[in-house]
Chain A
């Protein structure tokens, strides 16, 4: 009935594949969007060559934010940190496969913001993050 709530989004929201915490971890970061109360934490484990071997997310919020986090967390496993760095918001939006207005875009991109800030720190990505 609703293209925004495509099966994939609802399914990932209801049955997340990547939910959890990794302790210990190599990278962990948490952020929220106080406007809607979306909150996401992402934990990564990385091997000696800088490749993500394990990832998990936790948090709460709307279906879009949580499904996006679940899909992104899955996607990131196997990527090198350089690939994580160059992963764009357009790629994430394409993976979600939905057309979002500006407010909901913030929900969808919170996970990407958390991922990038966790790996590279907020300062280095200031400009890119400000655009998220």
Chain B
């Protein structure tokens, strides 16, 4: 495929060369068109090599070691934490807890902060556009602790309804949890404003940054939020690692989540003393090489510049929406491009999303079909499933053209 002119300040042609997998064909003569980065992004050589280099030259378990490799591995591991902290604007690296993924980060808050702070008569406020990972942990704790959950509704164009949100805040939820960007609708929520409103109502604010941190500048200090959960695998890093940022006072007061090695200062047969932050929340051997990859991924993104990445995706989604809307029978969900990240969930007449995705796959185009782990949202939309195309820094306008051609092919099969 011809590498397109750059749309903006990102040199997409050069970026594509960093991602070995983008060269592959899905069948002979069929070039991969990867439009599924919202599920998980591809990895640049810089990340892959950082991890293999680490395994080849520095690998050892971290912490507590006296030998050279243990010291080097620990330094590399902690340096990764420093860069992740800096990437999201955390004051201190101690406020970054490595987890398996965003889901585990949210579960950590629900279990640890939840158990210490929630009970009968309390309210947790979420929104209707949450991913299952920011619903189910709360439902699980609610059935145990007896608190209630409310969901802030959306406007007709599928943005958060701030008036309704404000009204729900009057019921004084103890915690407000919402995604910064919907993985289905693409809606980007006004986090700073929502956090300010929630704080004014006395709530703690948890932001699901799984979709936002990979795609835009997310600064916890500017946004003034209390918790931020995100995953490395969606931001060019490896799977198996994510992070929880937490406000220091909150993290310090919270009890440990899981018990084991690493999270203790001292253990006796009848008691233990928890370690300092962030070790308190990192029981057991951590994902060490994954942390190295996580660090390399944020370095990679920072070097390109998050504003440029966001700009590229903004141009991609504008273009995609324009072209999609011209395909007869296509209906795109979510707000106008200006309120959206690079995600387009759509239906094509009454063709089932699985059939759409399958025919696109035959043309090398990887999209996702289903409920995208947001069943309540799909129920709200009155749909069992949608087809979702999502864009990242390596996607080109030509790939949108391929998607559109593919949709015409689907129409032909089902004409």
Contacts and interface: CB of A to CB of B under 8 A. Distances in A.
Given A5-B359, A36-B370, A61 B352 contact: yes
Contact of A36 (B369, B409, B412, B414): B369
B11 to A, nearest CB: 36
Interface in B362-407: 362, 369-371, 375, 383-385
Contacts, number: 48
A75 B370 CA distance: 30
Nearest to B409: A1
A19 B370 CA distance: 25
Interface residues of A, number: 18
Of the listed residues B352, B385, B412, the one surrounded by the most CB atoms of chain A closer than 10 A to its CB is B352
Interface in B290-317: none
Nearest to B354: A62
B375 A104 contact: no
A2 to B, nearest CB: 6
A104 B361 CA distance: 13
Given A10-B413, A35-B370, A4 B352 contact: no
A48 interface: no
Interface in A1-60: 1-2, 4-5, 10, 14, 34-38
What is the size category of the interface that chain B forms with chain A? 10 to 19
Contacts of B359: 2, 4-5
Interface string A95-109: 000000001100100
A5 B370 CA distance: 19
Given A36-B385, A63-B352, A104 B358 contact: yes
A14 B413 CA distance: 11
B354 A107 contact: yes
Interface in A74-117: 103-104, 107
A2 B370 contact: no
Contacts of B355: 5, 62-64
Contacts of B370: 35-36
B362 A4 contact: yes
Contacts of A103: 354
A63 B351 CA distance: 8
B3 to A, nearest CB: 28
A34 B362 contact: no
A107 B353 CA distance: 12
A2 B414 CA distance: 12
A15 B69 CA distance: 67
A62 B409 CA distance: 17
Nearest to A107: B354
Nearest to B350: A60
A9 to B, nearest CB: 10
Contact of B354 (A2, A14, A104): A104
Contacts of A62: 352-355
A2 B371 CA distance: 25
Contacts of B353: 36, 62
A107 B369 CA distance: 13
Contacts of B413: 1-2, 5, 10
Contacts of A36: 352-354, 369-370, 384-385
Contacts of B351: 63
Nearest to A34: B375
Nearest to B362: A2
A39 to B, nearest CB: 8
A37 B385 contact: yes
A64 B362 contact: no
Contacts of B385: 36-37
A103 B375 CA distance: 18
Nearest to B385: A37
Nearest to B383: A37
Contacts of B369: 36
Nearest to A3: B362
Q: Which 6 A-B pairs have the closest CB atoms?
A: A37-B384, A62-B352, A62-B354, A63-B355, A37-B385, A62-B355
Interface of B: 351-355, 358-359, 362, 369-371, 375, 383-385, 409, 412-414
